[in-house]
Structure 1
Amino acid sequence: MLPPGRRRGAAVSSGTTLLGLFLLFASTATAAGSVLGLDFGTLNLKAALVKPGIPLEIVLSKDSKRKETAALAFKPNRDSKNQILAEPGKFPERVYGGDALALQGRIPGEVFPNLKLLLGLPADGTSDMIATYNSRYPAVRVEQVEELGTVMIKSSAFVKEEPPWSVQELLAMELANVKRNAEALAGKGSSVDDAVITVPAFYTADERRAIENAASLAGLNVNAIITDGLAVGLDYAKSRTFPEVTKGEKPEYHIVYDMGAGSTTATLLRFQGKSVKDIGRYNKTVQEVAVLGTGWDRTLGGESLNQVVVNDFVHKFLTKPVLKSRGTQEDEIKADGRLMSRLSKDAEKARQVLSANTETTSSFEELMPEIDFRVKLTRADFESLTVDFAERVEGPIKDALAAAKLTMKDIDSIIMFGGAVRTPFVQKQLEKVAGGSAKLRSNVNADESAVFGAAFKAAGLSPSFKVKEIRDSDVAGYAAGMMYQDGGKDRKQPIFAVTSRVGSGAATKQVSFKDKEDFAFSVYQTVDGIDRPVIRVQTNNLTAGVKELNTKYGCTAADVSTKFGIKLSAVNGLPEVVSGTVSCEVEGSAKSGSVMDTAKDWLGLGKKDQEPLGVEDDGPTEEVKAGTSSASKSKSSSTSSSGSSSSSSKVPEKPKKRTESINVAFIVTPQGNPQPAPEELKRMRDRLAAFDKSDHARLDREEALNVLESYTYQVRDFLSNSDYSLVGTDAMRDEISKLLDTTRSFMESPSDVAKATEQVLREKLSGLKKLVEPVKSRRTEETARPEKVAALRESLDQTGKFVEMVREQVDKAATASSKASIIEASKSAEAAAKSAAAPAESSAASDDFDNLEEPDTSSTSTSDAPKYSNPADFSPYSSVDLADLESVYEKVGTWLSEKEAEQAKLKSHEDPVLLVKDIETQASKLSQVMRDLLSKKMRQQQQSKTTSSSKKPASSKSSKTKSSKKSAKSSASTADGAEESASGTKSAKPAFVTINPGDDMPTEEEIMRMVNEAKDQGAETKAAKSKHDEL
């Protein structure tokens, strides 16, 4: 058996938290994964994706349809005579959905629709579903291989030696196609691996395992399998709040009546709110959706109604005189695959039309050679043909009510779901059952509600999402029990009833056995009165465990108890063994624990007699003894004796008993239909992978063929364009024309194209491009070159002006620096002379604490410091900056002059040396060096102003006021003041000055003003953004 997917605890599987109407995705640092909800119907396959940023969106098909027809076709390879060409190791083309059904008229034996009907059929051949399928699709070669436990289909698109395809493999192809569509919706690089799949309530263990196997082969992990009715219930509940039973309110009861293409089910659901324990001392209200009972009719559906219309068409067709004269029999008509596919398609259309109209007409041109057929069908005729089906409509509802022990008076509404429920006689019967139309509701999407419910469930199981907390539970559907041997006789013990819970609140059955040595038992499922085995359990260390208990604790065989925990899996709803123990009670207290245990006891934690905290979502534990039908329920296996001990403190305590247990190791083997062996499973996966590789190769080849064909038209237009005549010689054009004719001749030969591989097609394309692209490139260069050269020349002129400006500033700075050095030297000499003339006694008599006082700088004359009123005397540029700028300027200018001279010597049909991309590279060098120097100047000016502001001495209040007024006046009257104010802006974004061609080089003041304006805009943007963030 294939892995059933990730398993989660009951508390996680049933619940989730709602923020908003549908979903609020968790804000975590971990990567959130995508999950898929799948409604695998008989006729259509629907999928919904949940991904961060994509809440519950339908996965569209390749044709942008919201549902994909559940059909697959193999389109065989053919030779030049249109005969099927089957070669070893070669795969046909796969076609899905409506495109596959469109091939039924041509190759009916290679189209495989409605494969769900063949899934998980009993290996003993007791099912008549294969005969039903063959009657509907006579051209499909179906056979059941009992050894493999599955239905196999043979295709003529492969060689005879190729093994037939199992239904699981074919379904895996359809699921893989949906998976690819979902990943395309999720976005490039996304992977969709987890899914929740809906199945009918009547699915057996073999059918559920088969769908799990198909999903696994498709690369999907099945997180859960839920019934269609429960999925619709989840979709119904996700936007509603129900009466709270903890307040004494009455729950709601609804029946989901699902009539689809293949079957009909009725699911009775209970909807209620409930107050449960939350974190700490708080409570919270959760919604509960529980299935109480189900009923079904496996063969009542749209396809069976279609077959009634087909049979009517056949009978009327046989009344034609030409067929009577030929003696044509009904069996001959029904054995014709092409004819039956046409009748089936029009029968479905006629049934759908009659849902809204009273009559319809179907016409068939040459249904048989030279025989046309036209037939009229009224709604009255259709209803007379389906009287037997109408009587079966109420059956599933009655079964569901009986299972839940409720009556129709208890039901609030019947929720109609499925395509066939729109049939008029079906609604009439439902009104009859419900006692009128008041209880019939269409408040869910009749086509997509189940897939939305499945996607909601998938999101709830995923740790990447938070959704509304809805605790859901299903029912077993079939009774289950176990078979074992007792005293050499075969025994049976019921374990689960038809209505036993699956999911939230599911009970774990603790089954006690008398066996003290290794033994085996099996669990079965009762289907239609037949006990079908599900799993076999074989213990490994029971004998050793009993011996160990005897050796260590002196337990006798009579004191030893063997128990196994069995529950219904939350993943697939099948019985599973969750635990096995062998134990006995011994006297004496337990051994003293570790230091941590002592600390826990001192704090009141982890005491032996402390009752464990229960989880609201945990189900009860039921004790079952093999050989008895009674079961006792308990929430916990441990009891507290603190009450009795505290009340009788003076009475000597009896020796305490403790339970010593050893886990029993066991092996679980699936039973029922044979499961694929590991080597067979590997063969399936390898063959599917090879098929995928063949599809990719085919798509790549088709793409190469399309590109080559498109390019030949471009070359044809290229040769007729006179603009290219100057950049190419006649010899070049003749060579291109000759190769084009050869290529087009190849393209017009179907046999040559059919034999050509992707590599051959790409080589032909490369050969054409090798001749054509250089000519096109020369024309492109010739057209764009003059404009690019002119732009580069203008940039050189502007750079030259900038070089002169920088050189002037560097020279002025050098002169100013020289003057400052002379003045500083003079001041130093004067200060040294004054210091030498000072009386020595004054220095000796000075107080030791005089140096602690700060000098009074406010009275110091500023005439001693040199003043420079011209700002140009200070330059942020150094001689190194000037040298770098001049170097780039001269190199670019030299390069352009040399390349222009070389290009002038070349002819138009020769490859150019002055390329557009090279011109752009040289222009970027000029722009970069200018940006670097301007940025350097702006940084230094801002640092200089920041430094001068921080070094400004403190002054009195009056001087501050006077200074601020003077600064305000200066700021208002001069550009320098504005420049100073703007330069103090914090966190200003870097500004860039663009010099347009033809403009004069701006002055430094103009450049700084533009930069400051950009800073002000950046500050305003940042302030607005901060305000928005606060909101």
Structure 2
Amino acid sequence: MAFSSLSRLRLLWCVVALCIISINRVECIAVMSVDLGIEWMKVAIVSPGVPMEIALNKDSQRKTPVAIAFRDGERHFGEQAVSTGVRFPDKSYSHFLDLLGKERNNPVVKEFERRFPYYKLEADAKTGGVLFKHPEGMTFSPEELLGMVLAYARELATNAAEQPIKDAVITVPAFFNQAERRAVAQAAKLAGIKVLQLIGANTAAALNYGVFRRKEFNDTPVHILFYDMGTGSTTATVVSYQTIKTKDKILAEHVPQLSIKGVGYDRFLGGLEFKLRLGERFAKEFSALKKTKQDVFDNKRGLAKLFKEADRVKKVLSANTEHVAQVENVMEDVDFKHPITRAEFEEICDDLFKRVAAPIHMALSSAGMTLGEIDQVIVVGGSTRIPRVQQELHAALGNSRELGKSINADEAAALGAAYQAAYLSKGFKVKVFHVKEACLFPIQVDFSREVDTDGVKSTKVVRRVLFSRNNLYPQKKVMTFSRYTTVLCTLPSTMG
């Protein structure tokens, strides 16, 4: 049967469409995101024909420890590195994100040494930064260690996407200053990663929440408080959602936008500190047994075993009111068995729990808002599952206010960052969702200006604040100079 002219035309268009799709699939390049935490990282990918998804590691797990170990001339990552750390604590490196961009005498470095006394740190003679002194004589900077971990993350993403990946959006804590962010960018460069954007982990989680609810927003702002307690820190963020009118070429359209209104944080409040408190209690109880020649506080391997058990017990006590800590052969063939209740755990960490609400008050103050103006509260981060944390949140927010758990607490930031990576990539076309982050620290410029005082010429240094605290970005500011001059852009180097 002969084709009609219309049928031939339809067939021709189908062939053309298939060709176009094939070309796009070949030209599209997969992108990745890394939700970089102090203890864990989650890697997500977006590839042609595949929506946002979490890349599994080599143990088929959805999250991977941010850890690297060196032993017998080989590098080990993830759980293997953590296991090595239990036997050889000073040969496995973890929790080093806080050392990025820091000088040796920084208070944050001192806090790191308190938490992890088995590491030997020294100052870099060239940069003044921090170096880990490896037992075998080598030294590693935190940036080098992170570069290796990010290279491993890139390998996981490449395996999941079944094609090479180099473009990524990486999350950082909202309170990271420019020195810390620059260190992350340097580490990514060592890993062969092209950073499309460093996005706040709080912003990425807020974006993940918004993209699936874009139809719910209009020109009336909706204010949501995100509370994130992770392993190393706690962040509270006030986010405003609304649609804005934009003009793209000729057509004007209304698109959703999120804006960070205020941020509060506690840099040292998180699951890690709870674990350390419990681990110290176990170490004291073991030491009190007096069954070993050497004190457990002087035994790196014994301490590592007790702290690992403390982490397990901490999680169990979130679901049970009592449990028994058990460790075989802590040291010198002596076992440890100790009952612990949730009430005891809460007593040990009572002063920490009293700090839970502070980031909320800080965020509201930063936003210039009251709690009554908040439409909803969303909790993310694994440590928000601790019952006492939830009690403190209810006390601060009002018992009648529900703690929303409508997003995946563990993966929201990774998926939000993956969406942003696809948006910034040239290989994908996604629906527009504008993101306005807040500059937590002011950025200023210094420039010299010639002045004439009673015929005497001199040079005066003029300082101007370019972006004040809580300025939204991305945005541009233009300064015009009448003559050639040197401009020094001053970025905050404090820990905040």
Task: Confirm or deny a common fold (TM above 0.5).
Answer: yes
Q: Which residue of 2 aligns with 1:308?
A: 277
In the TM superposition, residue 528 of structure 1 has moved relative to its aligned partner by 5.2
Q: Note if contact 1:41-1:70 (Cα within 8 Å) is conserved in structure 2.
A: yes
Question: For 2:86, what is the secondary structure of its paired residue?
Answer: coil
Matched, 1:174 2:149: yes
Q: Which amino acid aligns with 1:70?
A: V
Question: For 2:406, what is the secondary structure of its paired residue?
Answer: coil
Unaligned runs of 5+ in 2: 1-20, 450-457
Instruction: Give distance in 2, aligned partners of 1:452 and 1:265.
Output: 18
- Among 112, 134, 138, the alignment partner of 1:133 is 112
Question: For 1:467, what is the secondary structure of its paired residue?
Answer: coil
- Among 97, 103, 121, the alignment partner of 2:84 is 103
- Among 175, 194, 205, the alignment partner of 1:232 is 205
User: Which residues of 2 match residues 837-876 of structure 1 at below 5 A?
Assistant: none
Q: Which residue of 2 aligns with 1:949?
A: none
Residues 856-886 of structure 1 show CA distances to partners (whole Å, capped at 9, x for unaligned) of: xxxxxxxxxxxxxxxxxxxxxxxxxxxxxxx
Q: Which residue of 1 aligns with 2:224?
A: 254
In the TM superposition, residue 394 of structure 1 has moved relative to its aligned partner by 1.3
Instruction: Give distance in 2, aligned partners of 1:165 and 1:321.
Output: 37
Instruction: Give distance in 2, aligned partners of 1:117 and 1:102.
Output: 22
Instruction: Give distance in 1, aligned partners of 2:396 and 2:404.
Output: 14
- Among 243, 266, 273, the alignment partner of 2:243 is 273
Matched, 1:242 2:216: yes
Q: Which residue of 2 aligns with 1:682?
A: none
Residues 164-197 of structure 1 show CA distances to partners (whole Å, capped at 9, x for unaligned) of: 122111111111111112111122xx21010000
User: Which residues of 2 match residues 454-493 of structure 1 at below 5 A?
Assistant: 454-486=417-449, 487-493=458-464
Q: Which residue of 2 aligns with 1:291?
A: 260
In the TM superposition, residue 29 of structure 1 has moved relative to its aligned partner by 7.5
Inter-CA distance 29–389: structure 2 relative to 1 (3 Å threshold): closer
Question: For 1:443, what is the secondary structure of its paired residue?
Answer: coil
Q: Which amino acid aligns with 2:269?
A: L
- Among 383, 386, 408, the alignment partner of 1:420 is 383
Instruction: Give distance in 2, aligned partners of 1:135 and 1:421.
Output: 25
Matched, 1:523 2:489: yes
Instruction: Give distance in 1, aligned partners of 2:491 and 2:82.
Output: 37
Question: For 1:45, what is the secondary structure of its paired residue?
Answer: strand
Instruction: Give distance in 2, aligned partners of 1:285 and 1:380.
Output: 52
Q: Note if contact 1:139-1:336 (Cα within 8 Å) is conserved in structure 2.
A: no
Q: CA RMSD in A?
A: 2.1
Q: Note if contact 1:135-1:334 (Cα within 8 Å) is conserved in structure 2.
A: no
Q: Which residue of 1 aligns with 2:18?
A: none
Residues 312-359 of structure 1 show CA distances to partners (whole Å, capped at 9, x for unaligned) of: 112222222446xx6x6xxx5334210111011011111111111111
In the TM superposition, residue 495 of structure 1 has moved relative to its aligned partner by 2.0
Instruction: Give distance in 1, aligned partners of 2:91 and 2:207.
Output: 38
User: Which residues of 2 match residues 494-509 of structure 1 at below 5 A?
Assistant: 494-503=465-474, 506=475, 508-509=476-477
Q: Note if contact 1:478-1:527 (Cα within 8 Å) is conserved in structure 2.
A: no
Q: Which residue of 2 aligns with 1:186?
A: 161
Q: Note if contact 1:434-1:440 (Cα within 8 Å) is conserved in structure 2.
A: no
Q: Which amino acid aligns with 1:276?
A: T
Instruction: Give distance in 2, aligned partners of 1:146 and 1:448.
Output: 39
Q: Which residue of 2 aligns with 1:671?
A: none
Instruction: Give distance in 2, aligned partners of 1:232 and 1:46.
Output: 13
In the TM superposition, residue 368 of structure 1 has moved relative to its aligned partner by 2.3
Residues 41-61 of structure 1 show CA distances to partners (whole Å, capped at 9, x for unaligned) of: 111111101010221111111
Matched, 1:208 2:208: no
Question: For 1:468, what is the secondary structure of its paired residue?
Answer: coil
User: Which residues of 2 match residues 596-615 of structure 1 at below 5 A?
Assistant: none
Q: Which amino acid aligns with 1:108?
A: P
Residues 286-332 of structure 1 show CA distances to partners (whole Å, capped at 9, x for unaligned) of: 11111111111110011011111111112222222446xx6x6xxx5
Q: Which runs of 4+ in 1 moved over 6 A?
A: none
Instruction: Give distance in 2, aligned partners of 1:529 and 1:64.
Output: 36
- Among 205, 212, 218, the alignment partner of 2:191 is 218
Higher relative strand content:
2
Same amino acid, percent of matched pairs: 33
Inter-CA distance 237–185: structure 2 relative to 1 (3 Å threshold): same
* Structure ranking higher on relative contact order (CA contacts 8 Å, 6+ apart): 2
Higher relative helix content:
1
Q: Note if contact 1:194-1:223 (Cα within 8 Å) is conserved in structure 2.
A: yes
Residues 431-485 of structure 1 show CA distances to partners (whole Å, capped at 9, x for unaligned) of: 1222125341001100000000000000000121111210111011111212334
Inter-CA distance 335–349: structure 2 relative to 1 (3 Å threshold): same
Instruction: Give distance in 1, aligned partners of 2:25 and 2:386.
Output: 51
Instruction: Give distance in 1, aligned partners of 2:445 and 2:64.
Output: 41
Q: Note if contact 2:206-2:226 (Cα within 8 Å) is conserved in structure 1.
A: yes
Matched, 1:393 2:356: yes
Instruction: Give distance in 1, aligned partners of 2:23 and 2:357.
Output: 48
Question: For 1:466, what is the secondary structure of its paired residue?
Answer: coil
In the TM superposition, residue 513 of structure 1 has moved relative to its aligned partner by 4.7
Q: Which amino acid aligns with 1:94?
A: R
Residues 482-526 of structure 1 show CA distances to partners (whole Å, capped at 9, x for unaligned) of: 2334444444322211111112xx2x2233457x3x432322234
Question: For 1:104, what is the secondary structure of its paired residue?
Answer: helix
Instruction: Give distance in 1, aligned partners of 2:85 and 2:105.
Output: 29
Inter-CA distance 529–202: structure 2 relative to 1 (3 Å threshold): closer
Q: Which residue of 2 aligns with 1:574?
A: none
TM-score (norm 1): 0.44
Inter-CA distance 195–29: structure 2 relative to 1 (3 Å threshold): closer
Inter-CA distance 38–437: structure 2 relative to 1 (3 Å threshold): farther
User: Which residues of 2 match residues 459-858 of structure 1 at below 5 A?
Assistant: 459-486=422-449, 487-503=458-474, 506=475, 508-513=476-481, 516=483, 518-526=484-492
Q: Which residue of 1 aligns with 2:13?
A: none
In the TM superposition, residue 243 of structure 1 has moved relative to its aligned partner by 3.2
Instruction: Give distance in 2, aligned partners of 1:110 and 1:119.
Output: 19
Q: Note if contact 1:355-1:423 (Cα within 8 Å) is conserved in structure 2.
A: yes
Inter-CA distance 235–75: structure 2 relative to 1 (3 Å threshold): same
Q: Which residue of 2 aligns with 1:448?
A: 411
Q: Which residue of 1 aligns with 2:370?
A: 407
Instruction: Give distance in 1, aligned partners of 2:76 and 2:495.
Output: 41
Q: Note if contact 1:256-1:416 (Cα within 8 Å) is conserved in structure 2.
A: yes
Aligned residue pair count? 467
Instruction: Give distance in 2, aligned partners of 1:446 and 1:101.
Output: 23
Residues 117-168 of structure 1 show CA distances to partners (whole Å, capped at 9, x for unaligned) of: 22111x2x342333333344333332231522432223234xx4xx512211
Q: Note if contact 1:26-1:465 (Cα within 8 Å) is conserved in structure 2.
A: no
Instruction: Give distance in 1, aligned partners of 2:84 and 2:492.
Output: 41
Q: Which residue of 1 aligns with 2:44?
A: 48
Q: Which has the larger radius of gyration?
A: 1
In the TM superposition, residue 27 of structure 1 has moved relative to its aligned partner by 7.1
Q: Note if contact 2:217-2:256 (Cα within 8 Å) is conserved in structure 1.
A: no
TM-score (norm 2): 0.89
Q: Which amino acid aligns with 2:260?
A: V
Residues 190-241 of structure 1 show CA distances to partners (whole Å, capped at 9, x for unaligned) of: 2101000000111011110110011110010000011011101111111112
Q: Which residue of 1 aligns with 2:14?
A: none
Question: For 1:33, what is the secondary structure of its paired residue?
Answer: coil
Question: For 1:344, what is the secondary structure of its paired residue?
Answer: helix
Q: Which residue of 2 aligns with 1:545?
A: none
